[in-house]
């Protein structure tokens, strides 16, 4: 069943934090590696608005359904970042605006530009690019939701588990829209299938790779997705990618983990 922009907008809104006791993290702090993972997630969620800035310079801005979705999506992602900021602050860590301001100054020095906007300006145009954008977004949201699920399981903290469950529920709505639009648009165009497959196989990287230091990307991927349970989560996402028109046998997620060097996980706070 196709998820339309109207059905998505009817569910969109600020993350519900009713009953989440952030003081519980002061009394029962998270393990260092779980906290390190949350720093990564906090920074990436807060970078979403910068990613949106780049997307609006591509053909995506020409489609009103897509821009309506992105307007709601960036609002929800911002509140996900704010919720994670509450966890970091309970641990006595910098979070929210002070942390993000410092990060953005660093991004400006590096003159970071999103991979998708680079692809759009270099090779892709029109509706074919929107199909790629929706496919890329679906894969990123599948990966993000799986990452939250693995962190919830690995950290074993009841309050964090409930918070992440609520975040994952909203991520599920994002997935529904992205995947529905990706399937429809890829199915309508052999050109879009070919271009999307080429872009994914050459340029897709784990969420946050264009923003976070390589050592942090390596840490997060290995910490959350190493071992049998992690491999199962990645294989499920690869099977979902396989079902998208023209995108079978890419093995994006399993290849991403295989490319992380040994020893990427270091148990530091």
pLDDT of amino acid 138: 97
The gap from C-alpha 156 to its chain's centroid, in whole angstroms, comes to 22
CA atoms within 13 A on the CB side of 258: 7
Q: With respect to residue 78, please indicate whether it lies within any of the assigned structural domains.
A: yes
Positions of E strands within the chain? none
Q: With respect to residue 5, please indicate whether it lies within any of the assigned structural domains.
A: no
pLDDT of amino acid 199: 92
Q: With respect to residue 230, please indicate whether it lies within any of the assigned structural domains.
A: yes
Least confident of 27-36, 100-109, 211-220, 250-259: 100-109
In this structure, the number of other CB atoms found within 10 A of the CB of residue 181 comes to 25
**Burial of 22: CB neighbours in 10 Å, binned 0-12, 13-18, 19+:** middle
Q: With respect to residue 42, please indicate whether it lies within any of the assigned structural domains.
A: yes
Task: Give the pLDDT mean for 161-168.
Answer: 98
In this structure, the number of other CB atoms found within 10 A of the CB of residue 75 comes to 15
Q: Is the CB of residue 246 less than 8 Å from the CB of residue 190?
A: yes
d(CA 247, CA 256): 16
Q: Is the CB of residue 102 less than 8 Å from the CB of residue 162?
A: no
Q: Is the CB of residue 215 less than 8 Å from the CB of residue 268?
A: no
pTM of the model: 0.90
d(CA 247, CA 266): 34
Total domains present in the chain: 1
Q: With respect to residue 118, please indicate whether it lies within any of the assigned structural domains.
A: yes
Provide the H-helix boundaries in 114-157.
Answer: 115-122, 126-155
Q: With respect to residue 265, please indicate whether it lies within any of the assigned structural domains.
A: no
pLDDT in tens, 58-92: 888 889 999 999 999 999 999 999 999 999 999 99
Range of the domain at 224: 28-258
pLDDT interval class at 113 (50, 70, 90): low
d(CA 159, CA 193): 42
d(CA 47, CA 216): 15
Task: Check pLDDT > 90 for residue 265.
Answer: no
In this structure, the number of other CB atoms found within 10 A of the CB of residue 165 comes to 12
pLDDT interval class at 269 (50, 70, 90): very low
Task: Check pLDDT > 80 for residue 118.
Answer: no
User: Kindly report the CA angle at 261 between 259 and 264, in degrees rounded to 5?
Assistant: 125
How far are the Cα atoms of 40, 75, 213, 221, 241 from residue 94, in angstroms, in the given order? 13, 22, 18, 23, 37
Q: With respect to residue 114, please indicate whether it lies within any of the assigned structural domains.
A: yes
Share of the chain above pLDDT 70, in %: 88
pLDDT of amino acid 159: 98
pLDDT of amino acid 211: 85
Task: Check pLDDT > 60 for residue 50.
Answer: yes
Q: Specify the length of the chain in residues.
A: 269
**Cα–Cα nearest to 19, from 151, 145, 149, 158:** 158
Q: Is the CB of residue 253 less than 8 Å from the CB of residue 143?
A: yes
Helices 158-188/64-90 angle, 10° precision: 160
Q: With respect to residue 9, please indicate whether it lies within any of the assigned structural domains.
A: no
CATH code for the domain in which residue 131 is found: 1.10.620.20
């Amino acid at each position: 069943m196709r998820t339309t922009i109207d059905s998505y907008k009817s569910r969109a809104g600020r993350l519900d934090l009713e009953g989440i006791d952030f003081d519980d993290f002061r009394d029962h702090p998270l393990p260092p590696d779980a906290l390190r993972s949350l720093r990564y997630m906090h920074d990436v969620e807060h970078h979403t608005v910068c990613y949106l800035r780049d997307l609006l310079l591509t053909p995506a801005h020409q489609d009103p359904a897509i821009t309506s979705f992105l307007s709601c999506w960036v609002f929800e992602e911002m509140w996900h970042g704010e919720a994670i900021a509450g966890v970091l602050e309970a641990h006595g860590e910098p979070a929210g605006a002070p942390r993000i301001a410092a990060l953005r100054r660093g991004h400006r020095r590096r003159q970071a530009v999103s991979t998708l906007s680079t692809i759009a300006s270099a090779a892709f145009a029109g509706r074919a690019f929107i199909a790629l954008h929706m496919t890329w977004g679906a894969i990123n949201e599948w990966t993000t939701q799986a990452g939250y699920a693995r962190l919830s399981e690995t950290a074993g903290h009841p309050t964090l588990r409930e918070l992440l469950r609520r975040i994952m529920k909203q991520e599920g709505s994002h997935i529904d829209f992205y995947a529905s639009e990706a399937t429809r648009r890829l199915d309508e165009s052999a050109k879009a299938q070919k271009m999307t497959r080429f872009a994914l196989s050459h340029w897709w990287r784990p969420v946050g790779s264009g923003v976070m230091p390589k050592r942090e990307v390596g840490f997060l991927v290995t910490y959350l997705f190493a071992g049998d349970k992690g491999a199962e989560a990645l294989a499920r996402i690869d099977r979902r990618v396989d079902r998208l028109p023209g995108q079978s046998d890419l093995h994006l997620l399993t290849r991403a983990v295989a490319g992380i060097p040994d020893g990427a996980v270091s148990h530091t706070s």
